[in-house]
A = this chain, B = another copy of it.
Amino acid sequence: MSGKIITISRQFGSGGRTIGRLVAERLRIPCYDKELIEKMADESGFASDYIEEKNESARSSSRLLNALSYGNMTAIINEERIWESQCKVLFDIAGQGSCVIIGRCGDRVLKDRYDLLTVFVHAPEEKRAERIVNIYGENEISIRKRINDKDKRRRAYYQLYTDCKWGDALNYDLCFNSAAIGIEKCADVITEMYL
Contacts and interface: CB of A to CB of B under 8 A. Distances in A.
Interface string A162-175: 00000111101111
Which of A169, A170, A173 neighbours the largest number of chain B CB atoms within 10 Å of its CB? A169
A120 B176 CA distance: 11
Interface in A167-189: 167-170, 172-177, 180-182, 185, 189
How big is chain A's contact interface, by range?
A: 20 to 34
Nearest to A9: B169
Determine how many copies of this chain the complex contains.
2
A1 interface: yes
A193 interface: yes
B175 A181 contact: no
Chain A binding surface SS class? mixed
A117 interface: yes
A136 B181 CA distance: 34
A6 to B, nearest CB: 12
A122 interface: yes
A189 to B, nearest CB: 5
29 contacts: A1-B180, A1-B182, A1-B185, A3-B180, A117-B180, A120-B169, A120-B175, A122-B169, A167-B168, A167-B169, A167-B170, A168-B168, A168-B169, A169-B169, A169-B172, A169-B175, A172-B175, A172-B177, A173-B176, A173-B177, A173-B180, A173-B181, A174-B174, A174-B175, A174-B176, A174-B177, A175-B175, A181-B193, A189-B189
